[in-house]
Structure 1
Amino acid sequence: MGKLETKRLLLLEYNLEWIQATIAGVDELERVSGYEVSRDWPGIDFFFYLPYVLENVKKEPEMTKWTHLIVLKEENKIIGEIGGQGKPEETGEIELGYSIVPGYQNQGYVSEALMELLAWLQVQPEIKRIFARSFETNTHSIQVLKKAGFVYQPDQDKVESRGRIVLWEYPMNQGVS
């Protein structure tokens, strides 16, 4: 797949070389990718998740097609990531997650990226279910999910030490407008 594009964004497949470069530091990712990288990216949660991603991608290189870096075209800059986890090829399911660095939040970038990714996911034959989880206190993320057409699944709530996590499911039969 490689690249998806919207009016303002590029969604670029987060390949093995770029994952390794990110772990080495954003300067290395800039060198390898040719894009400027926001100094606030990756956020701490995503950064600590990267070694796990790297090991999985080394075992199954095709997994990179599910995760993308978000590039703001007008600045040629990586400002976040969006993608899925799980093994859709085996389960038919993908759990989506996303993040935009603070300086670029509340400008519609996540919604724009999510709508493009959803349109692409719906034509992937292995995808039968798309869902996302959010802390119930993360009103911005919940707003993005609602806007994209996700439906809250109240019977799927879980409580963790950091708060209640709520599940949102994307109705696969609705299509993306």
Structure 2
Amino acid sequence: MDQYQTERLTMMVFTLDMMNAALESNTQLKEASGCEVPENYPMELYKQMLPYKIERFHEHPEENLWEGLIIHTESNTIIGDMGFKGGPDENGEMDIGYSILPEYRGNGYASEMASSIVLWGLKQPGVKKITASCSTGNQASIRVLEKAGFQRTGESDGEWYWQLEA
């Protein structure tokens, strides 16, 4: 997925160099990515996951293909991140995750990203199904998944589970 374009967004692979830069400073991430970087990127939860992702991608570089930045094309600004959590498993399933910075929410960016990137994902070799989960109270994420064509498949411990088949 080196880069994938929609009407307003560019999804770009979040390389190991960019991840390491993100842990250092926004200035270094700007240099590594060529994009403007808001002060609050990466969000704290994602920043805490970066060391694990860096280690994982060192061991399994092929999985880095599935991890991306969401860039507002017109302003060339990172507005979030998305990924397929390691690519397809032995059953051809992969789980999508995404986040949009708070100041960019409510503009349809997550829906635009998800609707297009799942189509790309389902065309990849070995992929039969894309899954997702979200809190039962996360109305924004529920709308994103519904707009992208996901069907709800179950509920457990306050989480709804979703799938989209090829």
Q: Same fold (TM over 0.5)?
A: yes
User: Aligned residue for 2:34?
Assistant: 34
What CA distance in whole angstroms lies between the structure 1 residues aligned with 2:91 and 2:44?
Answer: 29
Structure 2 unaligned regions, length at least 5? none
CA shift, 1:25, in A, is: 2.0
One-letter amino acid matched to 1:168: W
Secondary structure at 1:4 match in 2: strand
Percent same amino acid at aligned positions? 35
Offset at residue 62 of structure 1 (A): 1.2
| Structure-2 separation of matches of 1:54 and 1:91 | 25
* RMSD of equivalent CA atoms: 1.3
Greater Cα offset, 93-102 or 39-48: 39-48
Which residue matches 2:160? Answer: 166
What's the offset of the Cα at 1:120? 0.8
| Residues in 2 aligned to 1:2 and 1:127: alpha-carbon distance in whole angstroms | 18
Q: Deviations over 1:120-146 (max 9, x none)?
A: 111101211200010101010001101
| Alpha-carbon distance in structure 2 between the residues aligned to 1:126 and 1:20 | 30
Q: Which amino acid in the other structure matches residue 97 of structure 2? A: G
Task: Say whether the 8 Å CA contact 1:16–1:61 is kept in structure 2.
Answer: no
Question: Where in structure 1 do 4 or more consecutive aligned residues deviate above 3 Å?
Answer: none
Write out per-residue CA displacement over residues 46-75 of structure 1, whole angstroms, 9 at most, x where no aligned residue: 111111110000011111111110010111
Which residue in 2 is equivalent to 1:101? 101
Structure 1: unaligned runs, 5 residues or longer: 173-177
Return the letter of the residue paired with 2:101: V
CA distance, structure 2, for counterparts of residue 45 and residue 91 of structure 1: 29
